[in-house]
Amino acid sequence: MKLISWNVNGLRAVAQKGFADIFTAFDADFFCLQETKLQEGQIDLEFLDYQSYWNYAEKKGYSGTATYTRHTPLSVTRGIGVEEHDHEGRVLTLEMPDFYLVNVYTPNSQDGLRRLDYRMQWEDAFRAYVRGLAARKGVVICGDMNVAHEEIDLKNPATNHFNAGFSDEERAKMSELLAAGFRDSWRDAHPGEAKYSWWSYRMAARERNVGWRIDYFLVSEGMASRIAGTDIHNDIFGSDHCPVELVLQD
């Protein structure tokens, strides 16, 4: 069973850059998107044998998540059930027979960490939500989690120590989430490898591979034995992020 996650940074734009061919080539069971930046009815992008589910932000052209699946879910949940956190289309959960698939686009703390306080509240609420799911069955979390957890997860840790995505506070929240019973599937399989999933559009960062690994597949402890493969597809273009992959044994 193959799962793909990709922050497309605007699905309408990526649709003009070969998205359909990329989607088809991956031949995934689940294809999760973040930062779709659209509202219902603004795109017609369906694929044979796939169902699609969407969570739109109330603000136009902002945030948003979507999941394409070959497998009919038992239920679909938009948001985490907390009013103050459920207006930006950031979480989309598909309940499958043996696990929950949580597609997430974590809020960015923004320049000067001006949204850090909100981010901390969101992190606690999200962790409580996925822990509740994990008490029932396995959980797979995927998406742009907007944090480089360890120094190996970005090219220049020293000069980014107080920047959004690499602050002590954000990294600590990721540590709390992992300690709550989740595994970073790619890091577990590649403990010493530096490979990135996001590059700034500035300063030719992608050409120079000055990147960050902020896109993840986390799995609950009970799902770890099912991991058959992981990958970061940094050869795929179209967004400032690249797709990441998880393969599970059926």
Active site residues: 105, 144
Tokens coding 225: 């034995």
CB-CB contact of 188 with 218 (8 Å) = no
Q: 248 CB contacts (<8 Å, ≥6 apart)?
A: 1, 3, 140, 223, 226, 227, 228
Q: 243 CB contacts (<8 Å, ≥6 apart)?
A: 4, 5, 6, 22, 26, 233, 236
Distance CA 217, CA 94 (A): 15
Phi-psi map region of 35: left, alpha, beta (phi>0 left; psi -120 to 50 alpha): left
Tokens coding 249: 């044994």
